Amino acid sequence: MNELPSVLWALRTTPKTTIGESPYSLAFGTEAVLPPDVAIATLRTRSYDEEVSNEGLRASLDVLEERCADAHLKALSYKRAITRVDNRKVRPRPVKLGDLVLRKTEVSDPT
């Protein structure tokens, strides 16, 4: 249970392969600064300038809606491709009168 915040942070900051963007970047318009980058001085943290950062953030927020729309289109395209691949595996089987078929019955809720 102690690992949960770290796992959630990792899930939110890792780019998804289907859309190429991380959920964090789609929500806030920029990539997250990870805790190791803060603890250990990196080029990104050493060259940090608040004014330049704020200007860049404003510029990235202007195109954020477009990035979200692009990510949505990529996700739809990916889903269509997966559907095409899955549908290739389907073999139609004609059912004639008198054939035995498995019929799904409704599951009643025990509560």
What pLDDT, in 10s, does the model give residues 35-58? 776 777 777 777 777 787 778 778
Residues contacting 16, CB < 8 A, separation 6+: 22, 23
- Average pLDDT across the chain, whole number: 82
Q: What is the pLDDT of residue 24?
A: 83
Whether this prediction's pTM lies above 0.75 is answered by no
Q: Is 100 left (phi over 0), alpha (psi -120 to 50) or beta?
A: beta
Q: What is the pLDDT of residue 108?
A: 66
Q: How many CB atoms lie within 10 A of CB 25?
A: 20
Residues contacting 24, CB < 8 A, separation 6+: 12, 13, 31, 32
For the CA atoms of 24, 25, 29, 34, the dihedral, rounded to the nearest 10 degrees, stands at 80
Residue 2 binned pLDDT confidence (cut-offs 50, 70, 90): confident
